[in-house]
């Protein structure tokens, strides 16, 4: 009899479940304070930059102030005494020294600013990448790879100017603005009022322009992400092969051109919406000295205590130009910040996603050499309807009728060293069972245990050491054979790597290639055949030396000859290990210690092959579907089994298979 799970309320997660972490502490908070907090680890460097900015901005107003002395006293414009050459030499030396000091400190300030900015960029990229590494598999199955890549590269790259220069520019321009205003007031408060009368209007206009540009920037980044998705999907090996086989190159090019044109139009709008505004502002600011000249003329003509000298007017005009530059720059920064906020929103949107697959606070160590390999499922229920965007569970009030269960009350125990197979119709939940053991997903209810410890209470690093996983289509990196093998165990010796390759019956094939283990396999291993890719993946798992082995349709996509090679390669891998096999071809699991038949998320029967066949249930039905058409061979560990019950010895793929027998 199949053990049934105890009754539990549907929709409720077990108490203390660590599979979903709390949201980020900053989630939902205003963006600007979060951006500022990015600089917290570098507050000392920022303080140094601010000090240099204050010094250089203060020194920057000294030379314009000295111009008044140069004209009125050094050149004698305000008196009949004539030029004072000695004074001019002194003033000139001071002005040159100030300019040189300003230039030197400016270079150091620029270096420190960029150093801090790039450090923040590095931290942000690290944080996004690390956060995504902790996301559950459900996130990646529900999000396009190109979209993820766009946020990591395009969005983070788009804020580079903000984190590298904007902060220092803002502080510098505020300091310049304050020191310049102070100097202008000292020279003439009346002229200062005329100079700054229209400045507040520009700031209000800049806010409006910034909001518009922020909207366009958000649309531009989304369009850029779509472009990344298109190129990633259609220019990959699989994508280009598909378009060629179906003759869809023209449609793909038309689709690319359409999105490319949209991106181009949005980028132009993004640039022009601010440029027109700044062109008007700067044009007005450039002619504003006319008002100063007129005001100074009236003051000189009127005489009295408010009269100004020619040197004062010249110095004031220079300071006015110095005033308008930071005003214009601050307006521009305001617009740029509004645009950058759209990108920060997208970046923080990823950082605010909840990580489901994380180490619990009380996670235990279970070293691979101490693990026995017993696997237990206790009343496990799983649903995939939780949001892929935030990882949160559905409301507890949701009724059972509305809940779609991938697994519904699955319970079993696989003793150490046993070979357990899971069969059933497509979509019955077999792969879900396999995915729960290494925590690619977590249970909604119930528990999955290894050696009596809930996998959610085992450190993820230890869990990955204990478990080896071979899928139907194993992933290979665009790298050499050696690098792909050593990915499982970077510290393995050359001898250990070769031994693993021999055990997987791929060593001889590797040595036939011109570059041997240095041969690059191509993207996703497309330079190799399906059987070669699978055997290389098996060699990688052999090198990993797991205690628990999971085979998810490891041979279903292979031809007969390749399947024989892979089956032979799996024999030494399964020996002495707890093995969980997901199988579509029943011929591959007839000799399993126990076979579980899964249907609609439930285990409906289990037992050895002969017993299940005699029982006449789901397994027998699946068996008849595959073997009722005459003498159809089925490869098992001992030979080739025919539907009439006769057995023929297996034809080994080569001398290397001699001696391989049942595990």
Calpha distance 350→379 (Å, rounded): 33
Average pLDDT over residues 47-65: 80
Q: What pLDDT is recorded for position 375?
A: 94
**Structure confidence by residue, pLDDT tens digits, 536-547:** 888 888 888 888
SS3 373: coil
**Confidence band for 377, pLDDT divided at 50, 70 and 90:** very high
* pLDDT(155) > 50: yes
Q: How big is the CA angle at 634 (ends 628 and 636), to the nearest 5 degrees?
A: 140
Say which residues have a Cβ less than 8 Å from residue 490's Cβ, sequence separation at least 6.
Answer: none
**Confidence band for 605, pLDDT divided at 50, 70 and 90:** very high
Q: What pLDDT is recorded for position 328?
A: 66
Which residue is it, tokens 């619990």? Answer: 360
Calpha distance 301→297 (Å, rounded): 6
**Confidence band for 400, pLDDT divided at 50, 70 and 90:** very low
More confident residue, 335 or 92: 92
More confident residue, 378 or 315: 378
Q: What pLDDT is recorded for position 454?
A: 94
Could you tell me what percent of the chain has a pLDDT over 70?
Answer: 71
Beta strands in 358-485 (DSSP E): 375-382, 407-414, 419-423, 445-450, 453-454, 467-470
Average pLDDT over residues 42-69: 80
Q: What pLDDT is recorded for position 161?
A: 67
**Structure confidence by residue, pLDDT tens digits, 292-326:** 777 777 777 765 555 677 677 777 777 776 776 67
* pLDDT(446) > 90: yes
Calpha distance 585→636 (Å, rounded): 10
The neighbour count for residue 265, using CB atoms within 10 Å, is 12
* pLDDT(525) > 60: yes
Average pLDDT over residues 482-494: 88
**Confidence band for 484, pLDDT divided at 50, 70 and 90:** confident
Q: Taking a C-beta distance cutoff of 8 angstroms, is the pair 81, 72 a contact?
A: no
Q: Taking a C-beta distance cutoff of 8 angstroms, is the pair 635, 561 a contact?
A: no
Q: What pLDDT is recorded for position 422?
A: 94
Q: Where are the domains of the chain?
A: 31-351, 375-386+406-657
Average pLDDT over residues 482-496: 88
Instruction: Tell me the CATH architecture of domain 375-386+406-657.
Output: 3-Layer(aba) Sandwich (3.40)
**Confidence band for 635, pLDDT divided at 50, 70 and 90:** very low
Helices 289-302 and 189-196, axial angle in degrees (round to 10): 150
Which residue, 272, 240, 241, is CA-closest to 256? Answer: 240
Q: What is the largest CA-CA distance in the chain?
A: 127
* pLDDT(386) > 70: no
**Structure confidence by residue, pLDDT tens digits, 82-125:** 677 888 888 888 888 888 888 888 888 888 888 888 888 888 88
The reply to whether 31-351 and 375-386+406-657 are identical in fold is: no
Average pLDDT over residues 543-554: 85
Q: What pLDDT is recorded for position 399?
A: 44
Q: Taking a C-beta distance cutoff of 8 angstroms, is the pair 390, 581 a contact?
A: no
- DSSP 3-state percent helix, strand, coil across the chain (nearest 5): 60, 10, 30
SS3 415: coil
Q: What pLDDT is recorded for position 284?
A: 65
**Confidence band for 380, pLDDT divided at 50, 70 and 90:** very high
Top mean pLDDT of 22-26, 341-345, 384-388 is at: 341-345
**Confidence band for 453, pLDDT divided at 50, 70 and 90:** very high
**Structure confidence by residue, pLDDT tens digits, 3-25:** 433 333 333 333 333 333 334 44
Q: Positive or negative, the Cα torsion across 126, 128, 134, 139?
A: negative
Calpha distance 170→330 (Å, rounded): 7
DSSP 8-state assignment for residue 364: B
> Dihedral, CA atoms, 491, 497, 499, 504, nearest 10 degrees?
130
Q: What pLDDT is recorded for position 302?
A: 64
Poorest-pLDDT segment among 391-405, 419-433, 632-646: 632-646
Domain 31-351's class?
A: mainly alpha
Poorest-pLDDT segment among 215-219, 258-262, 290-294: 290-294
**Confidence band for 285, pLDDT divided at 50, 70 and 90:** low
| 165, HSE (Cβ side, Cα atoms, 13 Å) | 10
Q: How big is the CA angle at 591 (ends 589 and 593), to the nearest 5 degrees?
A: 100
Q: What pLDDT is recorded for position 348?
A: 86
Strand (E) or helix (H) holding 226: helix 199-234
Q: What pLDDT is recorded for position 647?
A: 34
Poorest-pLDDT segment among 64-73, 105-114, 373-382, 430-439: 64-73
Calpha distance 341→336 (Å, rounded): 9
More confident residue, 217 or 658: 217
* pLDDT(518) > 80: yes
Calpha distance 36→587 (Å, rounded): 62
| DSSP labels, 62-76 | HHHHHHHHIIIIIS-
Say which residues have a Cβ less than 8 Å from residue 484's Cβ, sequence separation at least 6.
Answer: 476, 477, 521, 525, 536, 540
More confident residue, 296 or 440: 440
Poorest-pLDDT segment among 27-36, 203-212, 221-230, 265-274: 203-212
Which residue, 384, 387, 391, is CA-closest to 356? Answer: 391
Which residue is it, tokens 């950058």? Answer: 340
Poorest-pLDDT segment among 103-112, 149-158, 389-398: 389-398
Average pLDDT over residues 613-622: 90
* pLDDT(424) > 80: yes
What is the Rg, in whole angstroms, of the alpha carbon atoms belonging to the chain?
Answer: 36
Q: Phi and psi for 501 in degrees, rounded to 5?
A: -65, -40
Q: What SS3 string covers 15-28?
A: CCCCCCCCCCCCCC
Average pLDDT of the chain to the nearest whole number: 74
Q: What pLDDT is recorded for position 448?
A: 95
**Confidence band for 183, pLDDT divided at 50, 70 and 90:** confident
Which residue is it, tokens 């390999």? Answer: 373
Distances (CA, A) of 502 to 151, 498, 572: 42, 6, 11
Calpha distance 446→452 (Å, rounded): 13
DSSP 8-state assignment for residue 13: P
Which residue is it, tokens 């408060």? Answer: 189
| DSSP labels, 530-574 | HHHHHHHHHHHHHHH--SEEEEESTTTTS-HHHHHHHHHHHHHHH
Q: What pLDDT is recorded for position 280?
A: 65
CB contact burial 104-133 (16+ within 10 A = b; e otherwise): ebeeebeebbeebbebbbeebeeebeeebe
* pLDDT(460) > 80: yes
Q: Which residues pair with 447 in a beta bridge?
A: 378
Average pLDDT over residues 554-560: 62
Full-model pTM: 0.64
Poorest-pLDDT segment among 227-236, 404-413, 610-619: 227-236
Calpha distance 609→420 (Å, rounded): 11
* pLDDT(472) > 60: yes
């Amino acid at each position: 009899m199949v053990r049934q799970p105890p009754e539990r309320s549907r929709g409720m997660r077990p108490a203390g479940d660590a599979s979903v972490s709390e949201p980020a502490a900053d989630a939902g908070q205003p963006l600007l304070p979060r951006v500022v907090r990015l600089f917290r680890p570098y507050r000392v460097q920022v303080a140094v930059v601010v000090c240099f900015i204050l010094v250089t901005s203060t020194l920057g107003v000294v030379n314009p102030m000295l111009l008044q002395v140069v004209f009125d006293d050094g050149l004698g414009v305000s008196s009949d005494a004539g030029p004072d050459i000695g004074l001019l030499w002194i003033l000139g030396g001071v002005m040159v020294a100030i300019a040189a000091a300003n230039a030197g400190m400016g270079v150091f300030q620029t270096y420190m600013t960029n150093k801090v900015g790039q450090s923040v960029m590095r931290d942000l990229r690290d944080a996004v990448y690390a956060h995504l590494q902790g996301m559950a598999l459900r996130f990646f199955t529900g999000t396009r790879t190109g979209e993820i890549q766009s946020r990591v590269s395009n969005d983070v790259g788009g804020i580079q100017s903000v984190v590298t220069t904007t902060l220092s520019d803002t502080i510098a321009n505020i300091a310049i603005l304050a020191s310049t205003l102070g100097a202008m007031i000292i020279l003439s408060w009346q002229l200062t009022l005329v100079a700054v009368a229209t400045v507040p209007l520009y700031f209000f206009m800049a806010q409006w322009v910034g909001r518009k540009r922020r909207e366009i920037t958000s649309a531009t980044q989304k369009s850029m992400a779509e472009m990344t998705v298109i190129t990633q999907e259609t220019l990959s090996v699989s994508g280009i092969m598909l378009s060629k086989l179906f003759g869809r190159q023209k449609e793909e090019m038309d689709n690319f051109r359409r999105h490319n044109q949209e991106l181009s139009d949005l980028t132009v709008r993004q640039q022009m919406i601010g440029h027109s505004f700044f062109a008007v502002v700067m044009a007005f600011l450039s002619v504003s000295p006319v008002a100063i000249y007129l005001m100074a003329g009236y003051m000189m003509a009127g005489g009295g205590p408010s009269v100004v000298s020619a040197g004062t007017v010249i110095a004031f005009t220079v300071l006015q130009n110095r005033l308008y530059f930071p005003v214009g720059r601050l307006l521009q920064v305001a617009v740029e910040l509004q645009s950058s906020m759209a990108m920060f929103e997208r970046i923080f949107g990823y950082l605010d996603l909840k990580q489901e697959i994380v180490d619990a606070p009380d996670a235990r160590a279970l070293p691979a050499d101490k693990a026995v390999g017993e696997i237990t499922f206790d009343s496990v229920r799983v649903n995939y309807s939780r949001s892929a965007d935030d990882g949160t569970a559905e409301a507890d009030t949701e009724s059972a009728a509305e809940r779609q269960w991938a697994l519904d009350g699955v319970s079993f125990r696989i003793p150490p060293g046993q070979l357990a197979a899971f069969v059933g119709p497509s979509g019955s939940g077999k792969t879900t069972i396999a995915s729960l053991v290494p925590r690619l997903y977590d249970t909604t209810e119930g528990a999955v245990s290894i050696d009596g410890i809930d996998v959610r209470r085992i450190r993820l690093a230890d869990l990955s050491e204990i478990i080896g996983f071979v899928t139907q289509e194993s992933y290979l990196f665009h790298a050499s054979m050696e690098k792909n093998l050593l990915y499982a165990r970077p510290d393995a010796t050359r001898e250990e790597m070769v031994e693993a390759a021999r055990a997987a019956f791929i060593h001889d094939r590797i040595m036939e290639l011109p570059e041997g283990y240095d041969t690059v396999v191509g993207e996703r291993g497309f330079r190799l055949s399906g059987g070669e890719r699978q055997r290389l993946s098996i060699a990688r798992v052999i090198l990993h030396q797991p205690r628990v082995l999971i085979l998810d349709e490891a041979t279903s996509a292979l031809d007969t000859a390749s399947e024989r090679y892979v089956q032979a390669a799996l024999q030494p891998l399964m020996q002495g290990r707890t093995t969980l096999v997901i199988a579509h071809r029943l011929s591959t699991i007839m000799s399993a210690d126990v076979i579980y038949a899964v249907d609609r998320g439930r285990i409906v029967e289990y037992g050895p092959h002969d017993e299940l066949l005699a029982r006449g249930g789901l397994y027998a039905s699946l068996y008849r579907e595959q073997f009722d058409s005459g003498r159809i061979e089925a490869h098992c560990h001992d030979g080739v089994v025919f539907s009439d019950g006769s057995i023929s010895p297996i034809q080994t793929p080569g001398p290397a298979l001699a001696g391989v027998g049942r595990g």
